[in-house]
């Protein structure tokens, strides 16, 4: 049972790491046309995530692979239930990756705008779709005694799942805006800072609703769990840091907010890994969905050896590319005072 719990925690860490790291990538992808009004400004925004985005997406792949190896029954039921949704997720991931590579291949405004839209739409849909899927794990889906999904695509659109998707979208936008304010200069930096405040206010509302709803779904105790409380406090701290002008603390707070929000879903879900809305007796749990002890032991050895190497490489990558991306400076406002030689519009 110890290895089963260990691998459940590992999978939670992978999902949390994906949203913490890929979260600001997705936010930048959505916002690059908002903070960038010209092609040069948009390239400045995109260049902030250029060295990181592909490595950050690996966390999603590893989360799926670890689920397949450690909890094959969970993987089989979840991926078959969410098959159509996951196909859309895959298309969004492809659009994002291709847009980074193809956007600059032709010197054509129409070409670049098309790929900018692909990047924006793909980046915006991903947190919503994945959020719906994670929310459905806790809310419950129609699963029979054999662990087979018996519903249809529209059964996936549960109210709680949709709210989780909306919450993650709001956090991704806040995370991305705060990242851009840290990583850029000039007009892109100025516009990013202006966006952080409204996004922080929206995130406070969505996370507050998420905390209450998740507590009701889990049905545990009188008060929300510690991860849910930290998620709410972190997003409030982000809103406060924005007002005080502390960009570094704002990004730290958004990191804590998005990380604890995702982790709180899995904490509320445990010891289940997938809830059946048909009959609670059909729930998939950490115990009945796990691989055998030998497989878990081999996986543990591999994880202990290679995970520190991957983390060290990724940390070094962030260290090497830590400098801000220099963007165009804001245009000077024309003088309109007496003797200035200017005139009002």
> CA angle, corner 339, sides to 334 and 340, nearest 5?
15
Average pLDDT over residues 219-235: 87
Of the candidates 196, 199, 279, the residue with the CA atom closest to the CA atom of residue 244:
196
Residue 150 exposed, middle or buried by CB count within 10 Å (0-12, 13-18, 19+): middle
Q: Is residue 96 part of a domain?
A: yes
Q: Is residue 331 part of a domain?
A: no
Q: Is residue 292 part of a domain?
A: yes
pLDDT for 304-322, tens place per residue?
999 999 899 999 999 999 8
Give the whole-angstrom CA distance, residue 336 versus residue 345.
9
Q: Residue 332's pLDDT is what?
A: 53
Collect all residues with Cβ–Cβ distance below 8 Å to 267 and sequence separation of at least 6.
Answer: 12, 225, 227
pLDDT band at 337 (very low <50, low <70, confident <90, very high): very low
Q: Is residue 168 part of a domain?
A: yes
Q: Is residue 342 part of a domain?
A: no
Percent over 70 (pLDDT), the chain: 95
pLDDT for 166-206, tens place per residue?
999 999 999 999 999 999 999 999 999 999 999 999 999 99
Q: Residue 345's pLDDT is what?
A: 35
Tell me which residue range forms the domain holding 163: 2-320
Q: Is residue 330 part of a domain?
A: no
Q: What is the CATH number of the domain that holds 168?
A: 1.20.1630.10
Does residue 291 have a pLDDT over 70? yes
The model carries a pTM of: 0.92
Q: Is residue 341 part of a domain?
A: no
Does residue 334 have a pLDDT over 50? no
Strand partners, 211: none
pLDDT for 70-115, tens place per residue?
999 999 999 999 999 999 999 999 999 999 889 888 888 899 999 9
What rounded mean pLDDT belongs to the chain?
A: 91
Does residue 222 have a pLDDT over 90? no
Average pLDDT over residues 331-338: 48
Domains of the chain: total: 1
Asked if residues 35 and 188 have their Cβ atoms less than 8 Å apart, the reply is yes
């Amino acid at each position: 049972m110890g290895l089963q719990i260990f691998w459940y925690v590992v999978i939670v860490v992978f999902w949390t790491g994906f949203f913490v790291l890929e979260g600001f990538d997705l936010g930048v992808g959505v916002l690059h046309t908002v903070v960038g009004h010209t092609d040069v400004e948009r390239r400045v925004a995109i260049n902030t995530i250029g060295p990181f985005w592909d490595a950050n997406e690996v966390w999603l792949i590893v989360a799926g692979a670890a689920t397949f190896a450690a909890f094959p029954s969970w993987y089989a039921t979840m991926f078959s239930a969410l098959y159509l949704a996951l196909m859309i997720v895959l298309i969004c991931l492809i659009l994002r990756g291709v847009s980074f590579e193809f956007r600059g291949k032709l010197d054509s405004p129409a070409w670049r705008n098309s790929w900018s839209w692909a990047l924006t739409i793909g980046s915006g849909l991903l947190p919503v779709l994945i959020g719906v899927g994670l929310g459905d794990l806790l809310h419950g889906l129609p699963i029979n005694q054999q662990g087979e999904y018996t519903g249809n695509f529209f059964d996936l659109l549960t109210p709680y799942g949709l709210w989780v998707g909306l919450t993650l979208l709001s956090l991704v936008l806040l995370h991305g805006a705060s990242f851009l304010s840290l990583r850029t200069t000039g007009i892109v930096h100025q516009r990013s800072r202006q966006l952080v405040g409204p996004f922080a206010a929206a995130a406070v509302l969505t996370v507050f609703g998420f905390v209450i709803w998740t507590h009701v779904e889990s049905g545990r105790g009188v008060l929300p769990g510690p991860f849910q409380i930290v998620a709410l406090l972190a997003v409030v701290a982000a809103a406060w840091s924005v007002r005080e002008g502390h960009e570094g603390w704002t990004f730290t707070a958004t990191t804590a907010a998005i990380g604890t929000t995702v982790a709180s879903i899995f904490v509320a879900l445990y010891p289940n890994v997938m809830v059946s809305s048909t009959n609670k007796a059909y729930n998939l749990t950490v115990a009945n969905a796990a691989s055998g002890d030998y497989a878990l032991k081999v996986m543990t050895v591999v994880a202990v050896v290679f995970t520190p190497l991957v983390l060290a490489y990724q940390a070094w990558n962030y260290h090497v590319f830590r400098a801000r991306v220099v963007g165009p400076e804001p245009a000077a406002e024309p003088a309109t005072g007496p003797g200035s030689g200017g005139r009002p519009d």
